């Protein structure tokens, strides 16, 4: 997870779609519900925006595994690499 551009893009989506205030620091370790206080409806919006922006499909079975910003970044990275291969 060393792609700063990807991390920046994901962080921006999480902030906007999750309605995270500008004064709240978002790091890759930030947990979306516990640390950023993103509610369930906004979390759905985050996932939909991630799917649209990165052209990946987030499987329903994978949703419980996507707890932090790092989880999202890693998920996108893996899916992108599969699409290229």
CA dist 12 and 26 (Å) reads 9
**Confidence band (pLDDT; 50, 70, 90) for 43?**
very high
> Which tens digits make up the pLDDT trace of 8-35?
999 999 999 999 999 999 999 999 999 9
Query: Residue 59 belongs to what domain range?
Result: 4-84
This prediction has a pTM of: 0.91
**Confidence band (pLDDT; 50, 70, 90) for 2?**
low
User: What sign does the CA torsion over 11, 16, 19, 23 have?
Assistant: positive
Task: Output the domain CATH number for residue 30.
Answer: 1.10.1200.10
Please list the active-site residues: 39
> Which tens digits make up the pLDDT trace of 54-74?
999 999 999 999 999 999 999
């Amino acid at each position: 997870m060393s792609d700063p551009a990807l991390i920046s893009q994901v962080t921006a989506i999480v902030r906007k779609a999750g309605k995270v205030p500008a004064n709240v620091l978002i790091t890759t370790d930030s947990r979306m519900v516990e640390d950023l206080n993103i509610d369930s409806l906004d979390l759905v919006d985050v996932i939909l925006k991630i799917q649209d922006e990165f052209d990946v499909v987030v499987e329903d079975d994978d949703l419980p595994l996507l707890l932090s910003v790092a989880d999202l970044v890693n998920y996108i990275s893996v899916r992108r690499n599969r699409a290229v291969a």
